[in-house]
Amino acid sequence: MVTRLMNWFDDRLPLTATIERHLTKYPAPINMNIWYLAGVLLVVVLVIQLASGIWLLMNYEPTAEGAFASIQYIMRDVEYGYIIRYMHTTGASAFFALIYLHMFRGMMYGSYQKPRELLWVLGWITYVLLCALGFTGYVLPWGQMSFWAAQVIMSLFGSIPYIGEDLLTWIRGDYLISGITLNRLFAFHVVLLPLALIAVVFVHILALHEVGSNNPDGVDVKKYKDEDGVPLDTKPFFPYDVMHDLYAIGVFLIFFVTIMFFYPDGGGYVIEYVNYEAADNLKTPEHIVPSWYYTPFYAMLRAVTFPLFGLSAKFLGFVVMAAGIAIFVALPWLDRSPVKSIKYKGVYSKFFLALFVVSFFVLGYLGTVTSTPGRTIAAQIFTVTYFAYFFLMPIYSKYEKCKPVPERVQLG
Amino acid sequence: MQPKSPPNPGRRKFLIGATSAVGAVGIAGAAVPFISAFNPSAAAEAAGAPAVADISKLSPGEMIIVEWRGTPIYVVKHSEESINEIDKNLERLADPDSDTDVQPVYAKNKYRSRKPGISVLSAVCTHLGCAPKYYPELGVVDFDTEWQGGFFCPCHGSKFDLAGRVYAGVPAPDNLTVPPHYFKSDDILIIGEDGDVA
C-alpha cells in the first residue's frame, strides 16, 4: 500500500530520489564534531522564528500610534502572548549566536575553500539578510531604543557624499523617522526578508549537498569509495546524524527555554531596558546601544573619529562598519593555503585566527559601553587587528609552513 | 543532431536586440511607481510645513524647543556674557567660520544666526542624529574643564558651543544645522522658510 503510494508519487515527482539524496542517504563525514551542530540548530531556530513571528503578527499593529501598545497587549492580554514574544526575542539572539558559531566553524576548518566558495557566499548572504531582519524587527516594538537605533542606523546613509540627504529622505519616506518608516520596515521584516532568507537557505543546503560537507580534517572524503560508490569515510545521514542531531536539539532547547522562561531580558542584552519606554522623537536616550550581535561593528563605526581623503569621519565609519561585515565574503579568495583545516595550517594562521576572535570579542564589548578616549583608541587598535586577519591572509597563508594532511579522516 | 543555424542571422540579432530594449524600457517604467512610492507622501510633505514660535517670553540664557518636521529645534536667547565671549574658544572649534554648508547664507556669521543673540539650531547631532543637551553654564562641567556654554551630545560625546559650532576632536563632523527661518516680527519666529529676504 505504502509502496504503491510512493510509486504513484515517484512517477510524478522525484520524491524517493530527493529524500534519499538530501536526507536518508546523504553521506556525512564520520569525523564531524560538535561544531557541525550549529547548522541544524539554525534550521530549528528558523522554524521557531517563522512560527512565533506569524503568531505575533496576528496581534501586532504596525502603526506609530498603535505599535507600542500592541506589544503590551500581546504581553498582557493575549493568552500565552508573552511566551510567543519571548520565543521570538530569544530566537533572534539564538539565531546570531549560532550563525557566529557556524561561521567560525567554517573559518577554522577552511570550509569556504574550493569547491565550497559558493556555499560560503550563500551562507554570507543569509548572514546579511539576518542582520537586516534583526534591525527591521528591532524597530517594530517602537520603543525608545527602536526609534533611536533606526535614527542612528538610517542617518548613516545620510553621510554618503552628494546623494546622502536625498537618499535618507527616500529611505525614511519622511523628513524624520515616522510611522511611514515603521510601515516599510514592517513590510520588509515580515514579507520580503523572510522570503529571501528561506530561498537563500534552501539554495545554501542544495549547494551543500552538491559539494558535500567539509570535516575537521579538511580532507576530501570522496577520494576513497567502496564498490557501491559510497565514500568510505562517511555514514548515511539517517539514522546516524539524525539521532545525534535530535539529541543536540534537545540539549539546545533546554538552554533556549531556560532563557525564554526565566531570563527573557537576558540581562538587558536580549531585550534592552530602554525599549520598555515608548518612542519619543524629542528625547534621546542617555546611552544608545545596539543589540549585542551588532556591537563589534558598532565599535568599528565609532572607532573612526577622523576625516580622511576629504571624506567625513562619519562616512568613513560607515564604510569601515560595512566592510567589517562584507569582508567575510572574500575569504575563499584571500586564503592561499594548500590545506583547509586549522589543524594542519601553520602557526601564523593559528595566530591570526586567534587574534581575530579576540578582536571580535573586545570590539563586541566596546560596542556595549560608552566611549571614552581610551576606549576609542582600544577600538581603533582592535579594528585594525580584526581586518589584519583578512587582509594579511593572502601573505601568511601562502608562505607559512603547513603540516602534512592525512589521506583519510582521523578519528579520536 | 545540431540545429541548423537560423536563416538570416542579422534579422534575428536585430529582433532579439529590439525585444530586449523594449523589455528594458518596460521594466524601467514599471520600476517608477515602486521607487516613487518610497518618497514622502503628500501627507508627510504637508506635515513638514513651517513651525511658528513666540519668543517674546524668552529671557537671556533660556532655551525653548520648537518641533519642526518632527525634529526638535533649539531656540536660544544668548545672555550678554555669552555674546561677548563668543570668540573665546575659537582655537578649540573645528569650523569657527561656518565654512561647511549647514546653514543658510544669512546665518554664516560668527553668531551663526539671523539675528545676533538668537540661535536657531536643529537639535540633531551631526554625528548620528541624537539630541545634544543644553549646558549653558560656564566653567567646569562633567565633560569639560573650560566649558564656555553650549551643547553636549550624551551619545558619543560631541561638543558644540552656544552658536552650534562643533569642537575639534569629537565624533560629530559638522556644526549644528541652522534650519531656514525668519522673524515675522520681533517676537514671532517662523522656522522652515527663509522669508522674503532669502
SS3 (DSSP) at B33: helix
Number of H helices, E strands in chain B: 3, 11
- Confidence check: pLDDT of B107 > 80: no
Contacts of B174 in chain A (CB under 8 A): 312
- Count CB pairs under 8 A between chains A and B: 79
Answer yes or no: do B39 and A281 touch at CB < 8 A: no
Answer yes or no: do A180 and B44 touch at CB < 8 A: yes
Contacts of B131 in chain A (CB under 8 A): 282-284
Distance, CA of A301 to CA of A149 (rounded, Å): 14
- Confidence check: pLDDT of B150 > 60: yes
Report the pLDDT averaged over residues B133-150: 76
Report the pLDDT averaged over residues B50-79: 82
Contacts of A370 in chain B (CB under 8 A): 157
Predicted local distance difference test score (pLDDT) of residue B198 = 45
Contacts of B127 in chain A (CB under 8 A): 314
Contact status, residue A100 vs residue A292, Cβ threshold 8 Å: no
Homologous superfamily in CATH for domain A32-288: Cytochrome Bc1 Complex; Chain C (1.20.810.10)
Interface test with A, best of B32, B100, B102, B128 (most A CBs within 10 A): B128
Answer yes or no: do B72 and A282 touch at CB < 8 A: yes
Answer yes or no: do B155 and A287 touch at CB < 8 A: yes
- A283 lies within 8 A of chain B by CB: yes
SS3 content of chain B, % helix, strand, coil (to 5): 25, 25, 55
- Confidence check: pLDDT of B101 > 90: no
Residues in B whose CB is inside 8 Å of some CB of A read: 38-41, 44, 47-48, 65, 67, 69-72, 126-131, 154-157, 169-174
Alpha helices in chain B (DSSP H): 9-36, 42-47, 80-84
Answer yes or no: do B130 and A152 touch at CB < 8 A: yes
Answer yes or no: do B156 and A371 touch at CB < 8 A: yes
Answer yes or no: do A171 and B38 touch at CB < 8 A: yes
Which of B38, B70, B154 minimises the CB distance to A178? B70
- A281 lies within 8 A of chain B by CB: yes
pLDDT digits (tens, 9 = 90+) for B75-85: 888 877 777 77
Answer yes or no: do B130 and A284 touch at CB < 8 A: yes
Which of B44, B131, B172 minimises the CB distance to A284? B131
Q: What are A234's strand-pairing partners? A: A29
Report the pLDDT averaged over residues B113-131: 80
Query: How many CA within 13 A on the CB side of residue A385?
Result: 20
Predicted local distance difference test score (pLDDT) of residue A67 = 94
Of A344-353, B64-73, B90-99, the range with the lowest mean pLDDT is: B90-99
- Confidence check: pLDDT of B152 > 60: yes
- A356 lies within 8 A of chain B by CB: no
Predicted local distance difference test score (pLDDT) of residue B196 = 66
Which of B38, B41, B129 minimises the CB distance to A170? B38
- Confidence check: pLDDT of B145 > 80: no
Query: Which residues in chain A are classed under CATH 1.20.810.10?
Result: 32-288
Answer yes or no: do A174 and B130 touch at CB < 8 A: no
Distance, CA of A401 to CA of A391 (rounded, Å): 19
Reference A253, options A118, A87, A105, A92; nearest CA is A87
**Model ipTM over 0.85:** no
Residues of chain A with pLDDT under 50: none
Reference B118, options B69, B52, B187; nearest CA is B187
Answer yes or no: do B39 and A170 touch at CB < 8 A: yes
Answer yes or no: do B173 and A314 touch at CB < 8 A: yes
Tell me which chain A residue has its CA closest to the CA of residue B44: A174
How close A190 comes to chain B (CA, Å)?
A: 18
Element (H, E) at A123: helix A117-139
Predicted local distance difference test score (pLDDT) of residue B1 = 61
Distance, CA of A141 to CA of A150 (rounded, Å): 12
Which of A175, A177, A282 minimises the CB distance to B65? A282
Which of A170, A180, A307 minimises the CB distance to B41? A180
Q: What are B121's strand-pairing partners? A: B74
Residues in chain B: 198
Q: Which residues contact A350 (CB under 8 A, 6 or more apart)?
A: A342
Answer yes or no: do A152 and B129 touch at CB < 8 A: yes
Which of B39, B48, B129 minimises the CB distance to A155? B129
Interface test with B, best of A148, A157, A168, A174 (most B CBs within 10 A): A174
What DSSP string runs through A27-96? EEETT--GGGHHHHHHHHHHHHHHHHHHHHHTT---STTTHHHHHHHHHHTSTTHHHHHHHHHHHHHHHH
E strand segments, A282-332:
none
Predicted local distance difference test score (pLDDT) of residue B197 = 55
Q: What percent of chain B has pLDDT over 90?
A: 11
Tell me which chain A residue has its CA closest to the CA of residue B48: A175
Contacts of A181 in chain B (CB under 8 A): none
